[in-house]
């Protein structure tokens, strides 16, 4: 991620600071989520700031560990859909690194842009133009975050409605 990720998605910073583009030390620094620091045995977010942890900067098949300094701790945020399987929500936390500096194979794959509703058509066309200029071989796939989130939760809403319906039917049958 870059220095715009946390403010754009309005993620709460619990301790420390965000990445800064003019600090070369941030190229190898990390920001962890609350759950990530708890997993490594740090209960208080403030205590994590300045600590150095080993990070795999290689691939899963070619491990390469380097020390990285924790500069910030963020609040946990959901990355998965609602219901599916409650045990799936028990992820190990989130680690954010600045761009691809710390983990070179971890190249950015998506770009998020916050746009004003009154100029979204113009902004979307300009974004597509720039994208095609930079990546001429790749198709431009733009979408709105709220639409993407809506698609993720559509199946869960359907399942919830079916469970409610069949529960009401079962209650109706039991009362007769």
pLDDT at position 30: 94
At residue 167, the pLDDT reads 92
Highest mean pLDDT among 14-23, 52-61, 105-114: 14-23
Q: Which of 65-74, 121-130, 152-161, 162-171 has the lowest mean pLDDT?
A: 152-161
Cα of first residue to Cα of last residue in the chain, in angstroms, is 59
- pLDDT of 38 reads 93
- Tell if the pTM clears 0.75, that is, is over it: no
Average pLDDT over residues 122-129: 89
151: pLDDT strictly greater than 50: yes
Nearest in space to 101 (alpha carbons), one of 176, 14, 18, 30:
30
- Other Cβ atoms less than 10 A from the Cβ of 13: the count is 15
Q: List Cα–Cα distances, 93 to 76, 90, 115, 126, 165, in angstroms.
A: 7, 8, 29, 36, 35
Q: Residue 80: its pLDDT value, please? A: 52
Numbers of helices and strands, H then E, in the chain: 5, 5
Is pLDDT larger for residue 51 or for residue 144? 51
Give yes or no for residue 169 having a pLDDT over 90. Answer: yes
| Ranges 28-42, 86-100, 108-122, 128-142: which has the least confidence | 86-100
- pLDDT tens-place string over residues 61-119: 788 888 999 999 999 876 554 444 444 445 678 889 998 888 877 776 777 788 888 88
* CA–CA distance, 118 with 130 (Å, rounded to integer): 20
**Cα 164-169-171 angle, rounded to 5 deg:** 95
- Mean confidence (pLDDT) of the chain: 84
**Number of residues that make up the chain:** 176
Put residue 123 in one of left, alpha, beta given phi > 0 → left and psi -120 to 50 → alpha.
alpha
């Amino acid at each position: 991620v870059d220095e715009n990720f946390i403010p754009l998605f309005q993620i709460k910073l619990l301790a420390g600071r965000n990445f800064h583009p003019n600090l070369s030390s941030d190229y190898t620094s990390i920001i962890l989520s609350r759950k990530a620091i708890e997993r490594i045995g740090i209960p208080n977010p403030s205590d994590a700031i300045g600590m150095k942890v080993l990070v795999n900067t290689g691939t899963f098949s070619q491990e390469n560990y380097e020390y990285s300094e924790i500069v910030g701790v963020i609040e946990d945020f959901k990355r998965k859909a609602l219901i599916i399987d409650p045990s799936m929500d028990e992820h190990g936390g989130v680690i954010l690194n600045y761009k691809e500096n710390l983990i070179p194979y971890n190249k950015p794959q998506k770009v998020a842009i916050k746009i004003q509703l009154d100029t979204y058509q113009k902004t979307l066309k300009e974004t597509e133009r720039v994208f095609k200029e930079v990546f001429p071989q790749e198709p431009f796939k733009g979408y709105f975050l709220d639409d993407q989130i809506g698609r993720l939760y559509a199946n869960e809403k359907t399942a919830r409605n079916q469970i409610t319906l069949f529960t009401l039917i079962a209650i109706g049958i039991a009362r007769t």
